[in-house]
Structure 1
């Protein structure tokens, strides 16, 4: 598999992990095992330990003094604010609502990419975004879930805010991934992020009754930490190093599909013609965006 092919595979795996994360995280929070901010601390803290441990076996890379501030700013948007809003939003809304809302990310990233990174937005890319957007919109408007949140409107608002801050993060790290190995900046990103989220979740963390955890809840927490955090934040920079930020962003359209399929497997949703059509539109849109433009001689 060539480097571009591997980058696309990495992006797909990121969406799989995120897609499953909605159900696992919501189960942990809604059954009152771990509250959102406490789960954020566990998520960031656990991933921080893993990144620093793995970095022991990797070549050491010197970081320029001026870039530490960039790491700090990236941590504000991509770890602290982003994750606090995300998990609080997932607690209050449904997995399908949350996964559908994040599909506006490519729109924000396309705008930011053209302004900040001066990326050219081709007709093919616009067509792919539009096609995938309509597929995601169909799931958003007509998708159903048996699990109701405490406050759908507030939860959706938090997810919307998370989406904006995540988009800013994607743009910010695009330049850093070209300069440093993913482990180099991500271990610093999470270390800064951990100290940012700790004050918000410390009290909730004290309330966790660890002895009440069932095997499923324990697995769910580990999945949030290892799969949906360590795995995704490792794979995303690898993809960003080979692909445009706008291409990375459009893959987020796969999340409602994966979240919906997982809900189907878990018996929490049903499949119908509309959902099949929506999924075909999303996959077709992602395919168009990943096509490399032909060079004109």
Structure 2
């Protein structure tokens, strides 16, 4: 019971970290640094941190076997490299509220990926939920948008965020077996190293060209938040939770993100909630709720005694 409370507390804190990021990141990019530059700083900082901690905490723990090594590479490519590049590219082009709403598609991806990779059953309500959720996401992506300095290309940005939610859902499914088999720092050190090889070639120039000498204190604090909280702490808590919870539960904790993100964005004056977005959000939430319903266990047939 106590461990269950810790898992839920950790996942809610992660949701709060992610929700705040939708608004805070808009202060940094693109005025002070481009999205790929932010990704480069985040991944390099986290890769160094996890490699150092792993050296002291679990020096003998190593990922072994061809299957686990390939899985760790896939997690690094999807969960770190592509995930970060797509997310910040999308957030740079769309609004905080739209980006946070589209993130709720990830649980649907988890269910589909679990059915394909882990052979979990997809029931009729889940099929309906996938259809309803995707309809809501499609309306949000293709709906009429008002371009602004904060959202210069919302349609393209929303497509990037949808792709980001997809690869993150795949990452949750693929990383769960690794987290149950190896130390969390062993897995995180590996996946961030792989992610660095994917992301840094896109963002190193962006990171080097930033005018750091003229960054206000608040920008430094927000960049520090993205490295320490959004990257290191959030990934650490998420992957720790995977030791005790299913990928689906982590997906469920994406639900509070839009609510928290809306409250933060509106409070900071970064975005505003419209009735259209509220309706699209309702469709997405309904779809995700249907998808999250567990199939009923089949009745156990009577077993006849075997003849002697």
Aligned partners of 1:105, 1:223: CA distance in 2, in Å? Answer: 24
Deviates more, 1:265-274 or 1:233-242: 265-274
Is 1:58–2:57 an aligned residue pair? yes
Match of 1:80 in 2: 81
Is 1:21–2:7 an aligned residue pair? no
1:50-81 Cα deviation digits (max 9, x unpaired): 21222243133132142333211211111111
Match of 1:10 in 2: 10
Is 1:181–2:222 an aligned residue pair? no
Deviates more, 1:161-170 or 1:88-97: 161-170
Residue of structure 2 aligned with 1:205, choices 207, 229, 239: 207
Aligned to 1:49, the other structure's residue is in SS state helix
CA contact (8 A) 1:145 1:268 kept: no
Aligned to 1:64, the other structure's residue is in SS state coil
The equivalences for 1:86-125 within 5 A come to 86-119=87-120
1:218-266 Cα deviation digits (max 9, x unpaired): 0111111111111111111122222221221122121111111112332
Question: TM-score, with normalisation over the residues of structure 1?
Answer: 0.82
Residue of structure 2 aligned with 1:218, choices 214, 217, 220: 220
Is 1:159–2:161 an aligned residue pair? yes
Root-mean-square deviation over aligned CA pairs: 3.6
Deviation at 1:177, TM superposition (A): 1.2
Deviation at 1:147, TM superposition (A): 6.3
Structure 1 residues 20 and 137 mapped into 2: Cα distance closer, same or farther (>3 Å)?
Answer: farther
Is 1:38–2:37 an aligned residue pair? yes
Structure 1 residues 131 and 244 mapped into 2: Cα distance closer, same or farther (>3 Å)?
Answer: farther
Structure 1 residues 165 and 189 mapped into 2: Cα distance closer, same or farther (>3 Å)?
Answer: same
Aligned partners of 1:132, 1:144: CA distance in 2, in Å? Answer: 23
Question: TM-score, with normalisation over the residues of structure 2?
Answer: 0.80
Structure 1 residues 275 and 69 mapped into 2: Cα distance closer, same or farther (>3 Å)?
Answer: closer
Aligned partners of 2:158, 2:186: CA distance in 1, in Å? Answer: 34
Aligned partners of 2:220, 2:139: CA distance in 1, in Å? Answer: 34
Gaps of 5+ in 1: none
Aligned partners of 1:184, 1:246: CA distance in 2, in Å? Answer: 23
Aligned to 2:253, the other structure's residue is in SS state helix
Structure 1 residues 143 and 129 mapped into 2: Cα distance closer, same or farther (>3 Å)?
Answer: farther
Aligned partners of 2:26, 2:255: CA distance in 1, in Å? Answer: 20
Count residues with an aligned counterpart.
293
Aligned partners of 1:132, 1:16: CA distance in 2, in Å? Answer: 23
Match of 2:70 in 1: 69
Match of 1:238 in 2: 240
Aligned partners of 1:151, 1:131: CA distance in 2, in Å? Answer: 25
Gaps of 5+ in 2: 301-308
Deviation at 1:121, TM superposition (A): 6.2
Which one has the largest radius of gyration? 2
